[in-house]
Homo-oligomer: A and B are copies of this chain.
């Protein structure tokens, strides 16, 4: 037998000299006018004295709910998703929910592809930054999509929470245009996610709307060396851009390297912008002009929407605005 088995509601009942159901009522907070205040206090103090904690498993079984939601993210290595988790967990905890994380399926390069690992022991899922068009995986499980774009399918849609990336990109283009830039290079993430498609479209539209505006583009993976190579391609091509718009702060770091390798000074010879505003943005030299995306807020709002959904409501799609943060990597073009 275990050293000291935890007290049960039955023990509390005995200690307080009442019945189990009374304990349940009191501790469940539903005793308004059903149990006398004196008894309630009595029960509470007994529970306190014994250090009683309700057994979640029993609770889950009885209630048919697990009070656990699954957060799916592409990876936890990217600095962006820690805050998303934090935000989601914060509001979840406030409602007695836990959050388990899982990375996108194929990440499980392990031996057995989750034997029965991907339990159905969850009440709902928060899916972040999905590949475009990968909706519809969730048969019957309440889900909210994060940073995956609006749900354009007909019928009843999945609730969504997104960033206003298009506005963010327009802000960057506007800032650069105001400084006098006309030839833009887009160092684009070669990742099939809504957010990157949206960024590309918004930038293209903004530049197209600019008299004399020209845009070239190179794609790369989201890592420094790949980004450096892509930026170098843009910089050594014809009609060199005076500003490099990068899909991600890390990509911007690669652009810095390409610029330095070519003897170009940032921002005197070349303006560079990032996206996301992660820690890296201020670690770089010069500090990076970028768009701050409220990652933690994304997690928090997403969880709020999911909790709403679980409560039987139909949360409306939400869009979280990004904020242009001007630092030292942008300046008027030379000449």
Contact = CB atoms under 8 A, between A and B. Distances in A.
Interface of A: 3-4, 6, 53-58, 60-61, 66, 68, 75-79, 81-83, 85-86, 89-90, 93-94, 96, 98-103, 108, 110-112, 114-121, 140, 224-225, 250, 253-254, 256-257, 260, 279-280, 282-285
Q: Copy number in this complex?
A: 2
A52 to B, nearest CB: 10
A111 B94 CA distance: 8
Contact of A96 (B68, B98, B101, B115): B115
B116 A89 contact: no
A121 B56 contact: yes
A262 B264 CA distance: 22
B82 A76 contact: yes
Contact of A77 (B86, B225, B253, B280): B86
Contact of A114 (B93, B101, B102, B119): B93
Given A54-B116, A79-B79, A283-B284, 9 more contacts: A57-B57, A57-B66, A60-B61, A89-B102, A90-B110, A98-B119, A225-B282, A250-B279, A284-B284
Given A57-B66, A224-B283, A96 B116 contact: yes
Contacts of A121: 55-57, 98
Contact of A256 (B3, B103, B285): B285
Contacts of A79: 77, 79, 82, 279
B101 A89 contact: yes
A54 to B, nearest CB: 7
A86 B93 contact: no
